[in-house]
């Protein structure tokens, strides 16, 4: 295995020991339980997560101050919000499969929300944004040192909200309001209805709805998170966890010692790291090709590459 999985200190398969939490979580409840633990221990005093409209309506002050008309928000629109209790975290659990600009709150968290130790969850690109912001804090005065825990989630690609509507309402023929959970796994896009119906779409259908900006991304497993996690590589209901930085290492060790998670060695589970590696390489190879293609996109004109 090469560099596709990034630097990491340890990698395990894990799930939360809180059964109630697992009912709400996407897979192993890693992000939710980890933040809950970090809040309890004072490692963070608030976390930036993606919440739903219902939460936003109940707690408008926790969301972006200038979110104009919360009433108009659609179901399954993620809204970046700053939460500071376990109950709030639980309300935000689960993957939303469309874009939540979590980093947009990172400065505000240290300003009007008054946090000194911020937790943030995000996709690999958002982890890149966080680290760029720490090293090159151009518009982020005194923010970098306040980021106490950044949890990255595995990400093959993301969807604009309207793409999700297209997939759920047109392809899966379900109402957005009626969806209980969405999931990508086993080569399919799964939509679970609140009444128990399940629709699966082949991933081939979803490709054309992907966000174009994702096609230049060279990171699958959130290489720059303190800890990164995702379902790939672990059995159903479990998550693969990479512990990457010193901060991540210390928080994870404490959380496991406190009994937040049960873990198994990653080489003992199926399908294991091999699948993670395979998918990471697939993504990176595909997107490197896209980046190459951008160089000769026009006639003697290239599209811009962000990487230097």
Q: How far is the CB of 268 from another protein (least distance, A)?
A: 29
Per the CB < 8 A criterion, the answer to whether 81 and 48 are in contact is yes
β partners of residue 280: none
Beta carbon nearer to another protein, 73 or 276 = 73
Interface of this chain with another protein, residues 207 to 246, rule: CB under 8 A: 211-218, 223-224, 245-246
β partners of residue 198: 192
Q: Does 169 engage in binding with another protein (CB under 8 A)?
A: no
Q: Which helix (H) or strand (E) holds 47?
A: strand 46-51
By CB under 8 A, name the one of 24, 59, 64, 171 that touches another protein.
64
Q: Which of 237, 232, 47 is nearest to 153 (CA)?
A: 232
How would you classify the pairing of strands 227-230 and 188-193? unpaired
Beta carbon nearer to another protein, 85 or 285 = 285
Interface of this chain with another protein, residues 132 to 161, rule: CB under 8 A: 132-145, 158, 160-161
Q: Does 278 engage in binding with another protein (CB under 8 A)?
A: no
The CA distance from 181 to 190, in Å, is: 8
Q: What are 274's two structure tokens? A: 């091999």
The CA distance from 132 to 213, in Å, is: 18
Beta carbon nearer to another protein, 98 or 277 = 98
Q: How far is the CB of 192 from another protein (least distance, A)?
A: 23
Q: Which helix (H) or strand (E) holds 92?
A: none
Q: What are 187's two structure tokens? A: 């080569």
Q: How far is the CB of 139 from another protein (least distance, A)?
A: 3
Q: Does 61 engage in binding with another protein (CB under 8 A)?
A: no
Q: What are 133's two structure tokens? A: 């912001």
Which residues lie below 8 Å from residue 186, measured CB to CB, with a gap of 6+?
none
Q: Does 293 engage in binding with another protein (CB under 8 A)?
A: no
Q: Which of 301, 280, 303 is nearest to 292 (CA)?
A: 303
By CB under 8 A, name the one of 106, 148, 167, 172 that touches another protein.
106
Q: Does 162 engage in binding with another protein (CB under 8 A)?
A: yes
- Give DSSP secondary structure letters for 157-186: ----HHHHHIIIIIIS---GGGEEEEEEET
Q: Does 103 engage in binding with another protein (CB under 8 A)?
A: yes
The CA distance from 276 to 249, in Å, is: 21
By CB under 8 A, name the one of 19, 186, 301, 304 that touches another protein.
304
Q: What are 205's two structure tokens? A: 């259908």
Size of the site for another protein (CB under 8 A): 60
By CB under 8 A, name the one of 13, 18, 25, 128 that touches another protein.
128
Q: How far is the CB of 257 from another protein (least distance, A)?
A: 23
Per the CB < 8 A criterion, the answer to whether 260 and 276 are in contact is no
Contacts with another protein, 6-35, as mask; x by CB under 8 A: xx----------------------------
Q: How far is the CB of 45 from another protein (least distance, A)?
A: 18
Where do contacts with another protein occur on this chain (CB under 8 A)? Answer: 6-7, 64, 66-67, 77, 80, 98-108, 122-123, 125-126, 128-129, 131-145, 158, 160-162, 211-218, 223-224, 245-246, 303-304, 306-308
């Amino acid at each position: 295995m090469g560099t596709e999985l990034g630097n990491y200190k340890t990698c395990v398969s894990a799930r939360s020991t809180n059964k109630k939490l697992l009912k709400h979580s996407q897979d192993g409840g890693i992000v939710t339980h980890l933040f809950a633990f970090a809040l309890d221990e004072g490692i963070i005093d608030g976390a930036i997560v993606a919440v739903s409209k219902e939460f936003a309506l109940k707690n408008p002050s926790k969301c972006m101050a200038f979110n104009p008309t919360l009433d108009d928000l659609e179901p399954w629109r993620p809204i970046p919000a700053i939460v500071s209790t376990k109950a709030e975290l639980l309300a935000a659990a689960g993957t939303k499969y469309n874009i939540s600009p979590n980093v947009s709150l990172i400065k505000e968290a240290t300003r009007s929300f008054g946090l000194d130790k911020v937790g943030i969850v995000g996709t690999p690109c958002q982890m890149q944004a966080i680290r760029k912001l720490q090293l090159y804090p151009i518009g982020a005065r005194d923010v970098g040192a306040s980021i106490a825990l950044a949890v990255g989630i595995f990400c093959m690609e993301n969807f604009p909200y309207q793409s999700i509507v297209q997939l759920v309402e047109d392809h899966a023929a379900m109402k957005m309001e009626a969806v209980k959970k969405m999931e990508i796994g086993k080569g399919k896009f799964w939509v679970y209805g609140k009444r128990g119906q399940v629709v699966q779409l082949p991933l081939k259908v979803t490709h054309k709805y992907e966000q174009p900006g994702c096609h230049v991304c060279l990171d699958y497993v959130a290489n720059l998170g303190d800890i990164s996690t995702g379902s790939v590589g672990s059995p159903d209901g479990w998550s693969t966890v990479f512990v990457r930085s010193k901060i991540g290492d210390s928080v994870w060790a404490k959380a496991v010692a406190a009994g937040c998670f049960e873990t198994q060695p990653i080489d003992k589970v199926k399908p294991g790291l091999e699948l993670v590696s395979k998918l990471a390489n697939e993504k990176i190879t595909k997107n490197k090709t896209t980046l190459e293609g951008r160089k000769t996109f026009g006639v003697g004109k290239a599209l811009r590459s962000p990487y230097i």
